[in-house]
Amino acid sequence: MKKLSHLDSQGTARMVDVSEKATTEREATAEAIVTLSADAYAAAKEGNGPKGDVLGTARIAGIMAAKKTPELIPLCHQLALTKIDIEFEWLDERYALRIKSLVKTNAQTGVEMEALTAATIAALTVYDMTKAIDKGTTIDSVKLLAKSGGKSGDYAMPAQRIFKVSPAPARAKPKTIMNEVAAPRPGPLAQREAFREFMAANRLRPT
């Protein structure tokens, strides 16, 4: 089992010493999924949210968040980032927005936390920009998709764990219980015959 690199021999949290590591090109990609109501989704997609341009604001927020990651997460190193990119994908089938962040640097440590922070803050900004329409928006599936560079090598999330769009579930049809035979819908003649049987069984005369 691997030990946590941020703990010393006494179990005290510390910043990892990366001074002996080689400076290499590092890259990381992360994503977050924001699920909105139909009204909030339409407003965000049309660009007329209560606070203005949803995607434009979320993109800037994600870029700023990647730069400020060491100020938000205590043991992260201060890095000179060479690229930050925020992309969006509309998922009409479920009124959701997929946010994907890409961060690059040439450094002695990776940028996984910067990519995850960028995706998360961009998602929170989407919430802030649309909360006046609906406060029930959810942020799901924040995850690292891939990273490259460094001693630990490359990583890519297994395909079955990457978010996939599922079509809206079809309306369920009633099922026949075991040993139960589904009866045909009665027509006018069957209804009349059933009525006559009921009257005869109760010794009543139809009038």
Which class for 164: exposed (0-12), middle (13-18), buried (19 or more C-beta within 10 A)?
A: exposed
Torsion of CA 42, 48, 49, 50, to 10 degrees: -140
Distance CA 48, CA 8 (A): 51
134 noted as active-site residue: no
Which strand ranges, in their side-by-side order, compose the sheet holding 96-107? 81-91, 96-107, 24-35, 138-148, 155-156
| Closest-CA residue to 120 (of 66, 75, 56) | 66
Catalytic residue among 17, 53, 85, 128: 128
Residues taking part in catalysis: 128
